[in-house]
A and B are shown apart, each in its own frame.
Chain A
């Protein structure tokens, strides 16, 4: 290592690379870490600009000690992705502060590479990968300029050389990536990385607090049916079920560890693969009613929601079979009945209304129809911008505002059922979906989130009632969105009006799905399929390693050849080669090439 001092330009280059790598972490790292890194780099740059050396050792040590202490106070650990990345980012920033020699730059480039990779552990988009490879390219070019003893004058040249090395590395990287054996689970558990902020549904529902339902177009999951898809009125994807109602908010209630009640499937079975996006909750949105699933640790709760022990924090694929029509051979358990007939607290007018209606309709089904008829005939409106409801949310909705979305209707309906002694609960999940005809799968977006009810009718079992669909179509407020009744998925109005835009979007989503399927979820199974595709009998891990070795040897041979070919003086440009061939032919034809 030559003790050559660093120039301002070199410092600027490495600082820019570090900043670009940290940009990928905005949102996942504490802001003060990023700010500290940026500020210490900036200070060093200012000093270098004025030809000062790095600040004295004592100052640096104090700053480093403070920052790392603060970091530990925040994370309580340095293990785990966020804490580790934060520590590295901080170290890189502080290292920049003390950068005086090439050696320090070396360390910073290594940190940049690592920080870049750790961003990919959290993110999963193609663009992030492309961006970080770009950062890696730039860093490598900067490294080239820093490490050469004799300066390279133009940036273009170093970028071109670094790019050349990267492109020669691609085939090798591909072989590694395809054939390096994957493990089934993590090597060791890392602490929760603070990614608990889930998306989509939650385990409570209080429609009264929401004054504007933002419809997000984020994909919740995708479904590929092996058989024909069920009709829209049967495409209900079950999420958490709400039992506890305090008059304002619905909650899941304590899990009942009884196992699900028995049911008899009827009609045809639907086999499908659910491709779930991470949502940080432990439920899996199976089609009602799930009967089989290939999720080793997946179980059904008493209320028939498919759950797994850990939250879904990575994209997963779940194959499952469901029946949309079932029979309930056993009567409702006492505990469940008691839970689902708990009166709707704090809503006296609702209870009053229920009693009045119940007096007129003693049969359970008739009572249900009467309530739905009330929603259809009275001036109830469907809107995504409902007024805020008072504490007694059902009273407030049914008698005062009469405007709401699926949550309002499901909540009010269940309350009316319970007040009449009919077991009822609210089911949240997704409904409908958009078919992607370009790649033959269904997309369910956050805007397809839905809430409906289930009531227990003696002799028939749990019956799905979707009170939102009872609202007359003319009372759906079109000016807010093209949101229609629950039978139709809510999607943005632009796409409905411009079909080609919708098509382009579907195609884009098909690409995204391909990326997810082929790249993000590449695992042992995929490797096995790859070996089968290569006609290797009885594929296993050992054969994979052998194949990896063989492929690596071949690619390395190619690499050696490709790299050495460039210094072979016998190598000629294609034009010159063609010219000498022409000369040889002419000579053969009796026209020798003249000495000049």
Chain B
């Protein structure tokens, strides 16, 4: 039965994809794309209601019938409420997320509720992963959904699903969104080589390279920066959290080279490079990446790190359009 059900679901997904075409995010869920069916509990309820109606008719009891009809109507109203729980929700997703092979790509979905009613128990499902949140009236909530990714590369999810069983769990309303979620799955970061020294001068430990004497300016705060490097005065003046940056030996750009990993196979090399990227970023160094067909000029910061990881993920596969 479950395979039959799976087949039916797959058919429906494909049909919905054809019917609605590709969606550009953010998207507002309209009523044409919400599907609804009774759950197993809903079917049990329906059977109970039929039994109640038959009993009421058989005993010719107008009060019994009144109660049975009230329950039937409650079920119908509930169907509308279940449908409404998704209706008009706006959904968006942040795709620039870290993903490493063998772990999860953790997408951040954002549900925005512009209406005056609470949306409860809205589940977002992508592949086998799901996240569930309630979105109060006139507010938005972010829903992290961690989708497991196995292999390095560019993994694309063409469809995700919003679903709800609220209220009462009698009905199950859902909608498919054809928004493409792209996870750049970087290689799993591991390796045995040490980080190459900046400018090729040999390995220098980060703490030694950080002299207080070589103040070079301010840069944006990132998690993991030593507290003594925080620009507290800037923060106190009401500015953004900033970190004092120092030009020291670390300021010498360091190249993470494909060619320095001679004699290893591709994936091992990529894994090593990935580890180096993470280490260099954590150490606040300037680093560049050079792999066959791609060169990323030295820099640092989240965007740079993401560009490097993305290059590693896409190596040998090519960027998607």
* Contact A169 B84, beta carbon cutoff 8 Å: no
Instruction: Check if A314 is an interface residue, CB within 8 A of chain B.
Output: yes
Partner of A568, one of B54, B74, B115, B121: B115
Q: Which residues of A contact B31 (CB under 8 A)?
A: 564
* Contact A140 B65, beta carbon cutoff 8 Å: no
A511 to chain B, nearest CB (A): 16
A241 to chain B, nearest CB (A): 31
Partner of B169, one of A121, A147, A168, A170: A147
Classify chain B: how many residues form its interface, as a range: 35 or more
A497 to chain B, nearest CB (A): 36
Partner of A567, one of B52, B54, B78, B115: B115
In the assembly, what is the distance between CA of A95 and CA of B123, in Å?
Answer: 30
A contact residues, total (Cβ < 8 Å):
63
* Contact B81 A81, beta carbon cutoff 8 Å: no
In the assembly, what is the distance between CA of A172 and CA of B169, in Å?
Answer: 21
* Contact B57 A117, beta carbon cutoff 8 Å: no
Contact A182:B57 (CB < 8 A) given known A150-B120, A150-B133, A520-B63: yes
The segment from B43-51, B173-181, B284-292, B300-308 that touches chain A is B43-51
* Contact B77 A129, beta carbon cutoff 8 Å: no
Using a CB-CB cutoff of 8 Å, which residues 93-138 of chain A contact chain B?
Answer: 102-103, 106-107, 110, 113-114, 116-118, 120-121, 123-124, 128-129, 132-133, 136
Contact A123:B134 (CB < 8 A) given known A106-B169, A143-B168, A567-B84: no
Instruction: Check if A149 is an interface residue, CB within 8 A of chain B.
Output: yes
A290 to chain B, nearest CB (A): 25
Instruction: Check if B3 is an interface residue, CB within 8 A of chain A.
Output: no
Partner of A566, one of B68, B78, B116, B120: B116
* Contact B45 A180, beta carbon cutoff 8 Å: no
* Contact A566 B115, beta carbon cutoff 8 Å: yes
Digitize A157-192: 1 where CB-to-B-CB distance is under 8 Å, 0 elsewhere.
000010001101110110011001011011110100
* Contact B51 A173, beta carbon cutoff 8 Å: no
Instruction: Check if A297 is an interface residue, CB within 8 A of chain B.
Output: no
Partner of B66, one of A106, A114, A177, A559: A177
B72 to chain A, nearest CB (A): 7
* Contact A563 B84, beta carbon cutoff 8 Å: yes
Instruction: Check if A569 is an interface residue, CB within 8 A of chain B.
Output: yes
* Contact A121 B56, beta carbon cutoff 8 Å: yes
Instruction: Check if B12 is an interface residue, CB within 8 A of chain A.
Output: no
* Contact A569 B88, beta carbon cutoff 8 Å: yes
Using a CB-CB cutoff of 8 Å, which residues 108-161 of chain B contact chain A?
Answer: 114-117, 120-121, 123, 132-134
Residue of B nearest to A519 (CB): B62
Residue of B nearest to A181 (CB): B57
Q: Which residues of A contact B76 (CB under 8 A)?
A: 169, 172, 556, 559
Q: Which residues of B contact A190 (CB under 8 A)?
A: 58-59
Instruction: Check if A560 is an interface residue, CB within 8 A of chain B.
Output: yes
* Contact A114 B63, beta carbon cutoff 8 Å: no
* Contact A114 B84, beta carbon cutoff 8 Å: no
Instruction: Check if A257 is an interface residue, CB within 8 A of chain B.
Output: no
Instruction: Check if A144 is an interface residue, CB within 8 A of chain B.
Output: yes
Q: Which residues of A contact B70 (CB under 8 A)?
A: 133, 136, 166, 169-170, 173
* Contact A563 B115, beta carbon cutoff 8 Å: no
* Contact A177 B168, beta carbon cutoff 8 Å: no
* Contact A124 B63, beta carbon cutoff 8 Å: yes
Q: Which residues of B contact A102 (CB under 8 A)?
A: 169
In the assembly, what is the distance between CA of A148 and CA of B83, in Å?
Answer: 16
* Contact B63 A129, beta carbon cutoff 8 Å: yes
A28 to chain B, nearest CB (A): 13
Contact A183:B60 (CB < 8 A) given known A144-B167, A165-B74, A173-B70: yes
* Contact B77 A168, beta carbon cutoff 8 Å: yes
Q: Which residues of A contact B67 (CB under 8 A)?
A: 116-117, 120, 129, 132-133, 136
In the assembly, what is the distance between CA of A569 and CA of B62, in Å?
Answer: 41
Contact A176:B115 (CB < 8 A) given known A106-B44, A150-B132, A186-B59: no
Instruction: Check if A571 is an interface residue, CB within 8 A of chain B.
Output: yes
Q: Which residues of B contact A566 (CB under 8 A)?
A: 84, 115-117
Residue of B nearest to A102 (CB): B169
In the assembly, what is the distance between CA of A523 and CA of B121, in Å?
Answer: 44
* Contact B69 A121, beta carbon cutoff 8 Å: no
Instruction: Check if A522 is an interface residue, CB within 8 A of chain B.
Output: yes
Contact A148:B63 (CB < 8 A) given known A118-B55, A568-B115: no
A308 to chain B, nearest CB (A): 16
Partner of A169, one of B45, B58, B77, B123: B77
Contact A520:B62 (CB < 8 A) given known A136-B70, A149-B132: yes
Q: Which residues of B contact A140 (CB under 8 A)?
A: 74, 168
A516 to chain B, nearest CB (A): 10
* Contact B59 A121, beta carbon cutoff 8 Å: yes
Q: Which of A128, A182, A556, A566 has the most CB of B within 10 A?
A: A566
A117 to chain B, nearest CB (A): 5
Q: Which residues of A contact B169 (CB under 8 A)?
A: 1, 102, 106, 143, 147
Chain A residues engaging chain B, CB cutoff 8 angstroms: 1, 81, 102-103, 106-107, 110, 113-114, 116-118, 120-121, 123-124, 128-129, 132-133, 136, 140, 143-144, 147-150, 152, 161, 165-166, 168-170, 172-173, 176-177, 180, 182-183, 185-188, 190, 314, 519-523, 556, 559-560, 563-564, 566-569, 571
The 8 closest A-B pairs by CB, nearest first: A169-B73, A172-B73, A147-B169, A176-B69, A567-B115, A569-B114, A120-B63, A173-B73
Having A177-B66, A566-B84, one finds 18 other A-B pairs with CB under 8 Å, namely A1-B169, A81-B55, A110-B45, A136-B70, A136-B74, A149-B123, A165-B81, A165-B167, A166-B74, A169-B73, A172-B69, A173-B73, A176-B69, A182-B57, A182-B60, A190-B58, A569-B114, A571-B116
